[in-house]
A and B are shown apart, each in its own frame.
Chain A
Amino acid sequence: AQSVTQPDIHITVSEGASLELRCNYSYGATPYLFWYVQSPGQGLQLLLKYFSGDTLVQGIKGFEAEFKRSQSSFNLRKPSVHWSDAAEYFCAVGASNDYKLSFGAGTTVTVRA
């Protein structure tokens, strides 16, 4: 069974600074990888996903993520954060022959002025 670890529970970043959120997965075959964002009072919104091909994936809101098979990682990055990026971020992994997603526990991002 697949699983996800998000090592950072909470990250504080200054507005305009860069952001990187870590995600490590455990899965024997090629994983399907996702990043979701949850703003306060909202449901989860898909930021980006990786199925195959180019290991650097571009998403919405200026986010990107890089799949590194050797490190079993799928870290999320943004070059310059905005106050509206304050939210909770979830990494998830799935298998190509299944429909279930395994989520990490999430990383809360606080943006300071």
Chain B
Amino acid sequence: ETGVTQTPRHLVMGMTNKKSLKCEQHLGHNAMYWYKQSAKKPLELMFVYNFKEQTENNSVPSRFSPECPNSSHLFLHLHTLQPEDSALYLCASSQFRDISYEQYFGPGTRLTVT
């Protein structure tokens, strides 16, 4: 595997389910990001981890819970979601948490909440 991978690629869940999204980067980066992409809206930064420490929580509802066990893996735990949470969730990584370092994006997980 190369680059940034995300699993699953598609997920359908009910509002009472609990599920997790997984992201893995094979680039040796130290910063990882979760973004939410809704149709025809700008990408929304949700969480940022730098050297496994959470440095950003962009007013995200508590039904989204991130976890970063090491610099290569990032999870997004989901529970009691709402239909408006349906979106494409993108993971990204960069060598350092700095604007001058390119963010590399995974293909995303398409989440549908029913």
Q: Which residues of A contact B98 (CB under 8 A)?
A: 99
In the assembled complex, the Cα of A98 lies from the Cα of B100 at a distance in Å of 9
Q: Which residues of A contact B21 (CB under 8 A)?
A: none
Q: A99-B48, A106-B40 are in contact. Are A43 and B99 (CB under 8 A)?
A: no
Which residues 55-113 in A have Cβ within 8 Å of B in the complex?
A: 90, 94-96, 98-106
From A41, A45, A100, contact of B45 by CB (8 A)? A100
A32 to chain B, nearest CB (A): 5
Q: A43-B4, A44-B90 are in contact. Are A103 and B105 (CB under 8 A)?
A: no
In the assembled complex, the Cα of A103 lies from the Cα of B105 at a distance in Å of 14
Contact B42 A4 (CB under 8 A): yes
In the assembled complex, the Cα of A98 lies from the Cα of B41 at a distance in Å of 22
**B43 contacts A by Cβ under 8 Å:** yes
Q: Which residues of B contact A104 (CB under 8 A)?
A: 42
From B40, B94, B99, B106, contact of A98 by CB (8 A)? B99
Q: Which residues of B contact A105 (CB under 8 A)?
A: 40-42
A62 to chain B, nearest CB (A): 19
Q: Which residues of B contact A36 (CB under 8 A)?
A: 105
B32-60 Cβ-contact flags toward A at 8 Å (1 or 0): 00000000111101001000000010000
Q: A43-B90, A45-B105 are in contact. Are A32 and B99 (CB under 8 A)?
A: yes
Contact B40 A42 (CB under 8 A): no
Contact A95 B99 (CB under 8 A): yes
Chain B residues close to A by CB (< 8 Å): 4, 31, 40-43, 45, 48, 56, 90, 92, 94, 97-100, 102-108
